[in-house]
Amino acid sequence: MSNVLDQLKWRGLVAQTTQEEALRDHLEAGPVNFYVGFDPSAASIHIGNLVQIILAKRLQEAGHNPFLLVGGATGMIGDPRQVGERVMNPEETVREWTEKIRSQVSRFLDFEGPHAARVVNNYDWTSTMNIIEFLRDIGKHFPVNRMLAREVVRSRLESGISYTEFSYVLLQSMDYRHLHREYGITLQTGGNDQWGNLTAGVELIRRSDGDHVHAMSTPLITKADGSKFGKSEGGAIWLDPEMLSPYSFHQFFLNAEDEKVIDYVKVFTARSPEEIAELEDSLHREPWKRAAQHALADDVTTLVHGETETRRAIAAAEAVFGRSDLADLDARTLQDVLSDISLRPMPTGEDLPTVVDVLETAGVVASRSAARRAIQEGGAYINNTKVTDAEARLTPADLLHGTYVVARRGKKTIGGVAVQRG
């Protein structure tokens, strides 16, 4: 697999390309200036965007020159969805999110050396164009019948689609042409749901400039049942630690399905084919060890959040399941862990609550009587210490960081409370 395109295909990073053989030759001749765009439709990028960053990283490592576009202009409009009109966010919000995403995407690539990455903002060239210029110079190259034939437009014709969203494809295509003219960019990448926009940009450059350029899309990341991890489905895996803790991020990949984990390892990690073959073999021979899941979670969390946060996430999981000392966890990590599992407020008066009350409030048992039975049967724990006295109360020493208590029934039923003393 000497050609980078073949390597990307093996890793599952290629869904479609324009003129595959021509693109292969183009990449072989290199270096190629290429770009990928990120619209600020939220305050953070997510793992779908991370796939694009990893693709850019692999292309850069192969000797090509990445441009990361943040959509300060296109983010004001929003790419049309299959169902329902997007709510346009206030300009101030879009500007704030644009800067956040600029900062996020800039952490992953090399900005020095012969193939240094660059970040550009399409607001810089779009905001200065007047409507007459836009219609004459861009709009004349887009036959309306072809725009109406786009799947996302067809799906909205009956329910309605605004001219604003209908015209989004013109803005993204204009970006490609501008970057082609300004920086010699000849390849645009994006998710497979962007394929229509990608090829529209290729066609605009052919029609207006007579040049032949390329597009490449990545497959959408899905679960084993084919469903997406997307913000519109309520399952976005955010890269911002304020929106999703590093612990929860690590747990997401640690819980990857056996059917999909090797695919994820190929996409999200830099492990060699030999290492991945070993992980796949382990998955079949010793699935209970979950070696592939551990490798995936550790690698991706380190890429996104750094080694320190990865170690904290691993230590947190060990501690809450009774394999190490909870007291070793810092307050933020402990709160993140319990919030991810179940953290419930527990107001109390001058006296601290009983262990029975804690077990019930934490949700690890259904009732106070069930809590007493769990204690009698030897299966109830407070902060990983077995409870033997059903009449016992918490002591100040039981409040981790002065607030938190971890309750557990058996090996896996865990909950937490935040004691709020009145």
The verdict on 164 and 83 lying in the same domain is: yes
CA distance 363 to 416: 8
The verdict on 98 and 214 lying in the same domain is: yes
CA distance 11 to 387: 50
Give the residue from 197, 218, 239 where a domain finishes: 218
The verdict on 242 and 286 lying in the same domain is: yes
pLDDT at 232 over 70: no
| Residue 223 lies inside a defined structural domain of this protein | no
| Residue 346 lies inside a defined structural domain of this protein | yes
| Residue 334 lies inside a defined structural domain of this protein | no
DSSP code string of 132-150: HHHHHHTGGGS-HHHHHHS
pLDDT at 85 over 70: no
Give the residue from 178, 193, 218 where a domain finishes: 218
Tokens 């904290």 -> residue: 312
Residues above pLDDT 70, as percent of the chain: 96
CATH number for 379:
3.10.290.10
The verdict on 45 and 169 lying in the same domain is: yes
Q: Summarize pLDDT for 162-188 with one digit per residue, the tens.
A: 778 888 889 999 999 999 999 999 999
CATH number for 78:
3.40.50.620
pTM of the shown model: 0.88
User: Does residue 34 contact residue 117 with C-beta atoms inside 8 Å?
Assistant: no
> What is the model's pLDDT at position 353?
92
Residue predicted with more confidence, 333 or 211: 211
Q: Summarize pLDDT for 255-292 with one digit per residue, the tens.
A: 999 999 999 999 999 999 999 999 999 999 999 999 99
Report the domain count for the chain: 3
The verdict on 204 and 91 lying in the same domain is: yes
Residue from 213, 215, 224 nearest 261 by CA? 224
The verdict on 8 and 143 lying in the same domain is: yes
Give the residue from 328, 354, 376 where a domain finishes: 328
Tokens 């004001």 -> residue: 76
| Assigned token pair, 26 | 């183009």
Q: What is the mean pLDDT of residues 119-136?
A: 92
Half-sphere exposure in the Cβ direction for 352 (13 Å, CA): 18
Task: Kindly list the strands in the beta sheet with 413-421, ordered across the sheet, starting from the edge strand earlier in the chain.
Answer: 343-348, 413-421, 404-409, 380-382, 385-386
The verdict on 140 and 207 lying in the same domain is: yes
Residue from 255, 400, 386, 417 nearest 322 by CA? 386
CA distance 293 to 269: 12
Q: Summarize pLDDT for 8-56 with one digit per residue, the tens.
A: 999 999 999 999 999 999 999 989 999 999 999 889 999 999 999 999 9
> What is the model's pLDDT at position 21?
95
Residue from 310, 362, 368, 371 nearest 341 by CA? 362
| β-pairing verdict for 343-348 and 413-421 | parallel
The verdict on 155 and 185 lying in the same domain is: yes
**Cα-atom radius of gyration of the chain, to the nearest Å?**
26
367-376's contacts with Cβ under 8 Å and 24+ in sequence apart are 374/409
Q: What is the mean pLDDT of the chain?
A: 90
pLDDT at 98 over 60: yes
Split at pLDDT 50, 70, 90, the class of 235 is low
Beta strands in 13-123 (DSSP E): 16-17, 33-38, 65-70, 118-121
Q: What is the mean pLDDT of residues 327-340?
A: 87
| Residue 333 lies inside a defined structural domain of this protein | no
pLDDT at 145 over 90: no
pLDDT at 229 over 90: no
Residue from 201, 195, 198 nearest 181 by CA? 201
Tokens 């694009």 -> residue: 52
Q: CA torsion 272→273→279→281, rounded to 10°?
A: -160
Angle of CA points 77, 79, 85, to nearest 5°: 80
| Residue 85 lies inside a defined structural domain of this protein | yes
**Mapped to the 3 state alphabet, what secondary structure does 271-337 carry?**
CCHHHHHHHHHHHHHCHHHCHHHHHHHHHHHHHHHCHHHHHHHHHHHHHHCCCCCHHHCCHHHHHHH
The verdict on 191 and 55 lying in the same domain is: yes
Split at pLDDT 50, 70, 90, the class of 1 is very low
The verdict on 208 and 239 lying in the same domain is: no
The verdict on 387 and 239 lying in the same domain is: no
Reduced to 3 states, what is the DSSP secondary structure of residue 70? strand
The verdict on 275 and 375 lying in the same domain is: no
Q: What is the mean pLDDT of residues 381-386?
A: 93
- Give φ, ψ of 379 to 5 degrees: -115, 15
Domain hosting 372: range is 342-421
| Residue 235 lies inside a defined structural domain of this protein | yes
| Residue 225 lies inside a defined structural domain of this protein | no
CA distance 396 to 393: 10
Split at pLDDT 50, 70, 90, the class of 327 is confident
SS3 content of the chain, % helix, strand, coil (to 5): 50, 15, 35
Burial label, 7 (beta-carbon count in 10 A; 0-12, 13-18, 19+): middle
